[in-house]
Amino acid sequence: MKNAVKSAPGAAAKKSKKKTSENGSGSHEKLHDLFVDGLKDIYWAEKALTKALPKMIKNATSEELIDALTSHLEETEGQVTRLEEVFASVDEKAAAKKCAAMEGLIKEGEEIMEESDEGVMRDAGIIAAGQKVEHYEIATYGTLRAYAEILGHEEAASLLQQTLEEEKAADEKLTSVTPSVVLLTADGEEEED
């Protein structure tokens, strides 16, 4: 019984030291690693989107949707370059790590295009798939910007904020296109027999 009492304070001291090191510089390094891992993930995702967006454009029929997707493809190409600047700003080599989430979202979009009839219904599906992608990107860029701020990477935070604003604008554009595509379908004005 005495041994148990004597060893308890020593064990508590070891736990306390471990917590301190995890919450001190060690956690800063771990957050940096998580930040860089997130950059690699979204870098892969953006590069994959530069290949997926042209397929969406090719399958869309609404001029408004085609314009929105074409504009976002150009932005996405710029976002890839901006991510390379973010990597450089934190002294890391730009590298891609396969993003399972984006891979799944792209695959879902491809399935929608394959399974829906050409025209307004496919356009509606493309909008839905596109907005899922935008929401994923908004969440990712918001988190990465917050990590950059916490880590003191001001330039990276600023660059990530620019992309976050573009992703939000792309989502809003897809939202604004939705009524012209979906309502026409619901009213039967452009449905084909």
Q: How far is CA 185 from CA 54, 115, 129, 179, in A?
A: 24, 17, 18, 9
Looking at domain 28-179, its CATH class is: mainly alpha
Determine the angle formed by the axes of helices 25-59 and 2-23, rounding to 10 degrees.
50
Evaluate whether 160 touches 141 at the Cβ level (below 8 Å): yes
Give the global pTM.
0.81
Per-residue pLDDT of the chain (193 residues; tens, 9 = 90+): 444 444 444 444 444 344 434 445 688 899 999 999 999 999 999 999 999 999 999 999 999 999 999 999 999 999 999 999 999 999 999 999 999 999 999 999 999 999 999 999 999 999 999 999 999 999 999 999 999 999 999 999 999 999 999 999 999 999 999 888 777 555 554 444 3
What does the H/E/C string look like for 71-108? HHHHHHHHHHHHHHHHHHHCCCCCCCCCCHHHHHHHHH
Q: Tokens in use for 55?
A: 């397929």
